[in-house]
Amino acid sequence: MPNDLTMLGEAAVLACLRVKGPSSGFTLAVLNLYAQALSRLATIYVLSENREHIRALAPGDLQGGKFRDGGREVVFTDGRAKISRLAVRLRELHPAIEALKRDGPPPEG
């Protein structure tokens, strides 16, 4: 995996910690919301099976999808295959987290 990428599930945890604080506690559902918020603020990538190749997702690729498992995958109800091995570039993650801190965390529920 290129060293400037981190998995989206880990990025969601980091974003939640930085926005809400380490004592807030969080569920997979909350992490899914953070993954969704990050996907609006940064380019999301898909890693190949062997993690050697990456492909940027277009904004429409996630349209209608629902993040699951703390942001580790996106599932669709329209028959499209789920997308997993999601990642984000660190250079985009940090400004996205700063935007979430400034604008407030994603609404829960």
If you count them, how many residues does the chain have?
A: 109
Q: Which two tokens stand for residue 53?
A: 């190749």
d(CA 106, CA 4): 25
Q: Looking at the whole model, is its pTM more than 0.75?
A: yes
pLDDT confidence tier of residue 109, bands split at 50, 70 and 90: low
Q: 59-107 pLDDT, tens per residue?
A: 789 999 999 999 999 999 999 999 999 999 999 999 999 999 998 777 7
Q: Considering only residues 3 and 5, tell me which one the structure prediction assigns the higher pLDDT.
A: 5
Q: 4-31 pLDDT, tens per residue?
A: 899 999 999 999 999 988 877 789 999 9
Query: Which residues are within 8 A (CB) of 43 and not within 5 positions of it... i.e. 6 or more apart?
Result: 56, 57, 88, 89, 92
Average pLDDT, the chain: 91
